[in-house]
Copies of this chain bind each other. A is one copy, B any other.
Amino acid sequence: MARARLDIQPIEEVQSLKSRTYDALKVAIGTMKIYDAGAELRLDERALSLQFGVSRTPLREALAQLEQEGLVRIAPRRGIFIVRKTKAEVIEMITVWAALESMAARLVTQVASDDEIASLHKLVDTFDSADLDAHMGEYSDANIRFHAAIIALSGCRLISDITHGLFTHVRAIRQRTIFEKDRARRSIIDHKEIVEALEARNGERAERLVREHTLKLRDHVEQFVQLA
């Protein structure tokens, strides 16, 4: 008798209450405009456990994880506070980003295939200087995807993880970062140069271009962005 061949999909793994609570909290905090509030924002374990419909135990574990990531600060018998990043901390995050993404660019020239590098073209070519005026919003997304793609193509999982963690923090800042037309225009030029260096397998140059590109953003934030 022929053996039945069911195309079985693995059972969806039900996530623990802890991780689901963690995700929900992260989204809630991430989308909150914490920099518009005057006073320091406080959370309450018991109130949250009621809102999420879980007991305090998984909620506490989720909060502890968020604390380790630096999104909240837990003060015993005081409360749980959403942390607002200082400008200096944001500067440091962008600096680390520059270090990691430039290393990623170097790795791309060593490990990525020609096709993979060519795929970056699409992300760059989509926006030409002429289109900028009308599509500033979309450009911002494409910009992020471009940098994420370089990191992904590096094949270094650790760099991906760390930068992903940083991005969570910077998201709140992004809402306040004004992307002027001039910066975007210059940014596109930078991106094209970066792709060229990657295609030429010029690791040194790609690394330098990426670093300088990101440090420009750092200096821009340093000069023009005001937090809190």
State the interface size on chain A (CB cutoff 8 A). Answer: 25
Q: What chain B residues lie within 8 Å of A65 (beta carbons)?
A: 64-65, 68
Given contacts A57-B57, A89-B157, A95-B159, 4 further A-B contacts (CB under 8 A): A60-B61, A96-B158, A96-B162, A162-B162
Cα distance, A157 to B85, chains bound together (Å): 13
Among B16, B57, B98, B103, which residue has its beta carbon within 8 angstroms of that of A96? B103
Report whether A158 and B64 are in contact in the complex, using a CB–CB cutoff of 8 Å: no
Copies in the complex: 2
A76, B156: Cβ atoms closer than 8 Å: no
Over the window 92-105 of chain A, the binary record of Cβ atoms lying under 8 Å from chain B Cβ atoms (1 yes, 0 no) is: 11011011101100
A110 → chain B closest CB, angstroms: 11
Measured between beta carbons, the chain B residues less than 8 angstroms from A158 are: 89, 92-93, 95-96
The residue of chain B having its C-beta at the shortest distance from the C-beta of A208 within the complex is B204
| Among all A-B residue pairs, the 9 with the closest Cβ atoms | A99-B103, A92-B158, A99-B99, A92-B156, A96-B158, A99-B100, A61-B64, A65-B68, A68-B68
Q: Bound complex: CA of A60 vs CA of B64, how far in Å?
A: 11
Residues on B with C-beta less than 8 A from A156 are 92, 95-96
- Asked whether, in the complex, the Cβ of B68 is within 8 Å of the Cβ of A16, the reply is no
Interface check A173, CB cutoff 8 A: no
Q: Within 8 Å CB of A92, what residues of B?
A: 156-159
Q: How far is the CB of A23 from chain B (nearest CB, A)?
A: 14
| Residues of A87-128 contacting chain B, CB below 8 A | 89, 92-93, 95-96, 98-100, 102-103, 107
CA distance A64 to B69 in the complex (A): 13
A19 to chain B, nearest CB (A): 11
